[in-house]
Amino acid sequence: MKVVSVNIGELTTVQWRKKTIDTGIFKYPVNHPIFLDVENVRGDSIENRVHHGGVDQAVYAYGEQHYQFWKERYPDQDWKYGMFGENLTISEFDEVDIHVGSIYQLGTTKIEVTKPRQPCMKLGIRFNDQKIVKDFWNSTKSGVYFKILETGSVEVGDELILLENQIDNLTIAKVYTAKRLEKGK
User: Domain-by-domain residue ranges, the chain?
Assistant: 3-183
Domain 3-183 grouped into CATH 3.10.20.30: no
Q: Please determine, for residue 48, whether its predicted confidence score (pLDDT) is greater than 70.
A: no
Sign (positive or negative) of CA dihedral 173, 178, 182, 185: positive
pLDDT the model gives residue 122:
92
pLDDT at 47: 75
List the one residue out of 111, 120, 118 whose CA is nearest residue 90: 111
Query: Residue 120: enclosing H or E segment and its boundaries?
Result: none
Q: Report CA Rg, the chain.
A: 15
- DSSP strand pairing (12-16 vs 160-164): unpaired
Mean per-residue pLDDT, 56-75: 96
How confident is the model at residue 55, as a pLDDT? 87
